[in-house]
């Protein structure tokens, strides 16, 4: 028998609970716990429809707190719904109905921060920063989600003795650990910002030109990657890519450089010094070649680049990319600026080549593994 305050009948009507099922007692306890967290029947129904009822408490714990609409938030912080939607769109989120009650207290503080920044930065720069921030955080979120599903949820689901109530609690407890992950972001961001400012100042020297910055640009990619991966399982392909990316990140960091992009079988990196860029490129070729993996090849160029939104543009970037494209496996091609600035390295003339997109042939050199000294 149920009382007026007992939601059991409502759960039965919503097809959330079947008293005749073998696990009815455990399902009832699960629903009671979910309900005690302030989660509505409509939210339960939607989660059950997508097979995520046991994950619902953890999902809700990701963004806790009472919800408000975008229209309410605009009034609270003194801006317009259109401005908030512009920030959301630039950050990679789909538009929502202004009256949909979907935003947490944390969202309000985020919007308030953007609104305060609008008093200092131009609208275009703020939206561009939002795009950079959104795409970067989405990649971090995807990586964290994959790690959670593979290392936490999958092992729990595979345990036959784990009931859905226990599983829901374990998933919920694991999600709460996101607070620990978030605590990592601020000190790491501050350290990266300090390093970025120091490297940029060192590269600029006494220059007052803030439109460009002189840097060594490097590209290294795996050759024969596509043909080899046709013979590998998805897991083996993933191991190959992750090993390459790990070695690239470690080598670049060891020599004070910066990884700009990782695109599967290719890495783009920068270094303030041409010498360091040479060491990074040669080191990566040597490490890749030691494993019977696809050989690697690279291209290095030095010159002024346009830095914006965490990315780099300009002729120097294009030249380095083209050099990597025409290098043979096991070779690093460089331009004259790198040769003139990397005194510790030996180079062999590689002739003048016509590079795609360049009007005149470019004089090139091949970087050898020999050196008169080491960093």
- Rounded Cα distance between 251 and 215, Å, is 17
Quick one: 209-371 is in which CATH superfamily?
A: Nucleotide cyclase, GGDEF domain (3.30.70.1230)
Structural tokens at position 365: 């050199």
Q: Check: CB of residue 335 under 8 Å from CB of residue 301.
A: yes
Percent with pLDDT over 70 in the chain:
94
Alpha-carbon dihedral of residues 11, 14, 18, 23, nearest 10 degrees? -70
Question: What pLDDT does 301 receive?
Answer: 98
Could you tell me the pLDDT band of residue 280, with boundaries at 50, 70 and 90? very high
Residue 1 has pLDDT above 60, yes or no: no
Residue 305 has pLDDT above 60, yes or no: yes
pLDDT tens digits for 77-103? Answer: 999 999 999 999 999 998 889 999 989
pLDDT tens digits for 253-262? Answer: 999 999 999 8
Average pLDDT over residues 309-330: 94
Question: What pLDDT does 371 receive?
Answer: 62
Question: What pLDDT does 115 receive?
Answer: 92
pTM greater than the 0.75 cutoff: no
Three-class SS state of 2: coil
Residue 224 has pLDDT above 90, yes or no: no
Could you tell me the pLDDT band of residue 3, with boundaries at 50, 70 and 90? very low
Could you tell me the pLDDT band of residue 374, with boundaries at 50, 70 and 90? very low
Question: What pLDDT does 160 receive?
Answer: 66
Question: Where is pLDDT greater, at 135 or 336?
Answer: 336
Q: Check: CB of residue 12 under 8 Å from CB of residue 18.
A: yes
Three-class SS state of 25: helix
**Average confidence score pLDDT of the chain:** 88
Residue 112 has pLDDT above 70, yes or no: yes
Question: Where is pLDDT greater, at 159 or 104?
Answer: 104
Structural tokens at position 325: 């494209």
Partner residues linked to 367 by β-bridges? 347
Q: Check: CB of residue 120 under 8 Å from CB of residue 81.
A: no
Query: CA end-to-end span of the chain, whole Å?
Result: 80
State the span(s) of the chain assigned CATH 3.30.70.1230: 209-371
Residue 214 has pLDDT above 50, yes or no: yes
């Amino acid at each position: 028998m149920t009382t007026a305050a007992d939601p059991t009948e409502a759960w039965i009507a919503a097809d959330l609970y079947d008293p005749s099922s073998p696990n009815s007692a455990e399902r009832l306890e699960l629903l009671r716990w979910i309900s005690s967290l302030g989660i509505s029947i409509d939210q339960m129904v939607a989660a059950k429809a997508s097979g995520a009822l046991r994950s619902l408490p953890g999902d809700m714990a990701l963004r806790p707190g009472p919800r408000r609409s975008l229209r309410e938030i605009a009034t609270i912080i003194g801006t317009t719904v259109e401005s908030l939607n512009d920030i959301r769109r630039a950050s990679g989120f789909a538009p929502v109905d202004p009256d949909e009650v979907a935003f947490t207290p944390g969202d309000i503080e985020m919007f308030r921060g953007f609104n305060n920044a609008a008093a200092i930065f131009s609208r275009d720069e703020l939206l561009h920063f939002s795009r950079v921030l959104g795409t970067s955080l989405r990649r971090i979120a995807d990586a964290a989600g994959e790690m959670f599903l593979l290392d936490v949820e999958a092992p729990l689901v595979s345990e036959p003795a784990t009931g859905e109530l226990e599983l829901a609690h374990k998933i919920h407890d694991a999600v709460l650990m996101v607070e620990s992950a978030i605590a990592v972001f601020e000190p790491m961001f501050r350290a990266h910002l300090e390093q970025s400012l120091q490297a940029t100042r060192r590269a600029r020297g006494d220059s007052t030109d803030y439109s460009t910055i002189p840097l060594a640009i490097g590209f290294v990619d795996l050759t024969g990657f596509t043909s080899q991966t046709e013979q590998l399982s998805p897991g083996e392909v993933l191991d190959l890519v992750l090993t390459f990316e790990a070695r690239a990140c470690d080598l670049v960091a060891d020599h004070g450089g910066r990884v700009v992009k990782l695109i599967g079988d290719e890495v783009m990196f920068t270094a303030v010094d041409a010498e360091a860029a040479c060491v990074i490129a040669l080191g990566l070729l040597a490490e890749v070649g030691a494993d019977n993996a696809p050989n690697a090849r690279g291209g290095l160029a030095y010159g002024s680049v346009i830095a914006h939104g965490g990315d780099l543009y300009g002729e120097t970037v294009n030249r380095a990319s083209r050099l990597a494209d025409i290098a043979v496996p096991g070779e690093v091609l460089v331009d004259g600026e790198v040769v003139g600035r990397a005194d510790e390295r030996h180079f062999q003339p590689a002739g003048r080549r016509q590079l795609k997109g360049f009007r005149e042939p470019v004089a090139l050199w091949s970087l050898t593994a020999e050196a008169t000294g080491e960093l």
